[in-house]
Amino acid sequence: MNQQLNLDRWLNREYAYGFSTSFDYEPFPIGLNEQIVKMISAKKCEPQFMLDFRLKAYHIWKQMPRPQWARVAYETINFEQILYYAAPSTTEDDVQSTLAKLGVKPSSKVALDPVFDSVSLGTGFHQALKDAGVIFCSISEAIQKYPSLVKKYLASVVPIGDNFFSALNSAVFSDGSFCYIPQDTACPMELSTYFRLQKEGSGQFERTLIIAEKGASVSYLEGCTAARYDRHQLHAAVVELIALDHASIKYSTVQNWYSGDQEGKGGIYNFVTKRGLCAGEGAKISWTQVETGSAITWKYPSCILAANNTRADFYSVALTDGYQQADTGSKMIHLGANSKSRIISKGICGGKSMNTYRGQVKMTSAAQKAWNHSQCDSLILGKKATANTYPYIEIANVSARVEHEATTTQIGEEQLFYLQQRGINVQDAVNQMVLGFCQQVFLQLPMEFATEVNELLTIKLEGNC
């Protein structure tokens, strides 16, 4: 295929924002090289600074070694066999039908942006958000309409060369969310993005950027699923959060990517970089995540507490079953005085799965009277499942206080017997005990997600008794 001619054709095509009655885009070539990067940028009608950003990232990525440190085993990824841009060939009715089947329902309390493959289908509640001065749109639209904000904050928290997959994402990222909350503004509704990976052989590389100005607050929800294919697919996202003086960002995720079949065939490789910056005094960032899907997950939502009196919290449930592998956790880097952080991690593993917590807490010499509490609990449901914990603590200030506790348990026969004697069958008893084990995290989820998460875990736990 003559990629130069392809690029010329893409340059003359128009990128449509929002819902479209149909998507009739020319097929995109498979593989990754400089020409593909240029085609992605041209397809999105980006200004020169974004093309320069992508090309710089591509050349950095080419020089980086593939990471080998995570406690997971997987087939070597052939980056030349991935489709890096895929537009959904469907109608608006099909999109709405798919969302309904997946349980993603319209709500007057949530502004939703569905992203199918590489394309955002448009955000709702424009007027309500506009009246509040809130910007919520796809990252592609933000690059067009708010280039100065994007240029100022993009890669300010996760640099291009931070890691192998952040560099790859910076070169080829597709749609994701852009949220800007102006000074002293409480966002009037939840903001939400739903990611759906549909096309076989494609990858998803969304980029999310959220900025809360001084005194602002926002709650953002994220959900994701994928179609079932025998071939592994790659998801490599980057999320950056910036909270300025006394701003607050709450970021919640329910990850339910396809995890493969009963023999471990297929499923998503979920290699994600998420990081927040408490840039201003008194800023607060809270991560809450529920991980139930994907064949392999590497994910460490992190915070840099750069200013004084900042606060960061991380709440997580990671459920693995079958042949799933999860290497997840969090990092808290304390730079400011009187900064506080909390890590609550719940790992549940069944089948032949492996569930690993990997965390880092760092107290720098400037972090006077900083505080961290970490709690890592593992629950093993199967005799062939494995749970691991790798905490790393670095303290360079004698006034800092760090607390760490960890437990590894199984559901006891006495507990099951007690519940069975009260008329509860074994599967329901296991479900109730697991839900109780996770309750500390679920309480942090927005109301819109809490019920759905309980139902999701109940489905995932079937057969683990």
pLDDT computed for residue 108 by the predictor: 62
Q: Picking from 82-96, 190-204, 207-221, 407-421, which range would have the lowest pLDDT averaged per residue? A: 82-96
What average pLDDT does range 303-311 have in this prediction? Answer: 98
Report the pLDDT value the prediction gives residue 89, as an integer from 0 to 100: 62
Q: In terms of pLDDT, which residue wins out, 421 or 186? A: 186
**C-alpha to C-alpha distances, 195 to 19, 114, 198, 300, nearest whole angstrom:** 15, 6, 10, 19
* Phi, psi dihedrals of residue 159, rounded to the nearest 5°: -60, 155
Identify the DSSP state of 93.
Answer: H
In a domain, 345, yes or no: no
Q: Is the residue at 236 inside a domain? A: yes
In this predicted structure, the answer to whether residue 48 has a pLDDT above a threshold of 70 is yes
Q: How far is CA 126 from the centre of its chain?
A: 24
CA–CA distance, 292 with 317 (Å, rounded to integer): 8
Note whether 239 and 272 are within 8 A (CB).
yes
The answer to whether 147 and 228 have CB atoms below 8 angstroms apart is: no
Tokens found for residue 147:
């280039």
pLDDT interval class at 264 (50, 70, 90): confident
Q: Is the pLDDT of residue 15 over 80?
A: no
Q: Which of 201-210, 413-422, 448-457 has the highest mean pLDDT?
A: 201-210
Percent pLDDT > 90 in the chain is 58
- Which residues, 6+ apart, have CB-to-CB distance to 8 below 8 Å? none
pLDDT of 106 higher than 90: no
Residue 459 confidence (pLDDT): 74
Confidence of residue 457 (pLDDT cuts 50, 70, 90): confident
Q: How confident is the model at residue 19 (pLDDT cuts 50, 70, 90)?
A: very low
**CA neighbor of 83 nearest in space, from 196, 205, 207:** 205
Q: Which residue has the tokens 């200030």?
A: 397
User: 367 in a domain, yes or no?
Assistant: no
In a domain, 339, yes or no: no
DSSP-derived 3-state class of residue 403: strand
Cα–Cα separations (whole angstroms), residue 371 to 94, 115, 288, 338, 379 = 50, 38, 20, 7, 27
99 pLDDT tier (thresholds 50, 70, 90): low
Give the confidence band of 23 by pLDDT, cuts at 50, 70, 90: very low
Lowest-confidence range among 56-60, 129-133, 398-402?
Answer: 129-133
Q: Does 275 lie in the same domain as 140?
A: yes
pLDDT for 430: 82
Region 132-139: what's the mean pLDDT? 94
pLDDT at 263: 84
Last residue of some domain: 298, 328, 344? 298
Indicate if 152 and 15 belong to the same structural domain: yes
Q: How far apart are CA 4 and CA 19, in angstroms?
A: 29
Q: Is 335 a domain residue?
A: no
Residue 5 has pLDDT above 60, yes or no: no
User: Does residue 399 sit within a domain?
Assistant: no
Pairing of strands 238-243, 207-212: parallel
Q: Which residues contact 199 (CB under 8 A, 6 or more apart)?
A: 83, 86, 88, 117
For 116, phi then psi, to 5°, come to -100, 120
Q: Residue 114: helix, strand or coil by DSSP?
A: strand
Is the pLDDT assigned to residue 173 strictly greater than 80?
yes
Q: Which one has a higher pLDDT value, 293 or 310? A: 310
**Amino acid 93: pLDDT:** 56
What integer pLDDT is reported at residue 170 of this predicted model?
A: 98
125 pLDDT band, cuts 50/70/90, is: low
Q: Which domain holds residue 50?
A: 6-298
Cβ pair 382, 349 in contact under 8 A:
yes
Nearest to 166 by CA among 300, 273, 308, 282: 273
232 vs 95, higher pLDDT: 232
Q: Which residue has the higher pLDDT, 214 or 26?
A: 214
CA–CA dist 168, 77 (Å, integer): 13
Query: What's the DSSP call for residue 79?
Result: G
Task: Mark whether 94 and 231 lie in a shared domain.
Answer: yes
Our CA dihedral for 431, 197, 212, 395, rounded to 10 degrees, sits at 60
Any alpha helices (H) in 44-122, and if so which ranges? 48-63, 92-101
Q: Mean pLDDT score of the chain, rounded to an integer?
A: 86
Which alpha helices (H) appear in 122-163, and where do they start and end? 126-132, 139-145, 147-153
Q: Do the beta carbons of residue 50 and residue 143 sit within 8 Å?
A: yes
Residue pair 312/305 in contact (Cβ under 8 Å)? The answer is yes
Q: What percent of the chain has pLDDT over 70?
A: 88
Torsion sign (Cα): 112, 205, 89, 259: negative
- Residue 465: per-residue pLDDT: 56
Residue 374 lies in a domain: no
State whether 419 and 294 are in the same domain.
Answer: no
Distance, in Å, from the CA atom of 144 to the CA atom of 147, rounded to the nearest integer, reads 6
For the chain, how many structural domains are there in total? 2
* pLDDT at position 21: 33
Pick the last residue of a domain from 298, 325, 343: 298
Instruction: Report the pLDDT averaged over residues 423-437.
Output: 83
Angle between helices 3-11 and 34-43 (to 10 degrees): 20
DSSP β-bridge partners for residue 285? 249, 312
Output the pLDDT for position 102: 54
The confidence band for 188, taking pLDDT boundaries of 50, 70 and 90, is very high
293 plus 433 within the same structural domain: no
Pick the closest to residue 194 from 108, 253, 109 (CA basis). 253
Residue in this structure with the two tokens 């940028």, named with its chain if needed: 41
Domain boundary among 236, 269, 298: 298
Nearest to 260, CA basis, from 301, 222, 297: 297
> Under a CB-based contact definition with an 8 Å cutoff, are residues 321 and 351 in contact?
yes
Q: Does residue 227 lie in a domain region?
A: yes
- At residue 435, the pLDDT reads 82
| pLDDT the model gives residue 91 | 54
Strand partners, 299: 272, 328
Nearest of 292, 223, 278, 285 to residue 248 by alpha carbon: 285
In this predicted structure, what is the pLDDT of residue 1?
Answer: 36
Confirm if 210 and 242 have CB atoms less than 8 A apart: yes
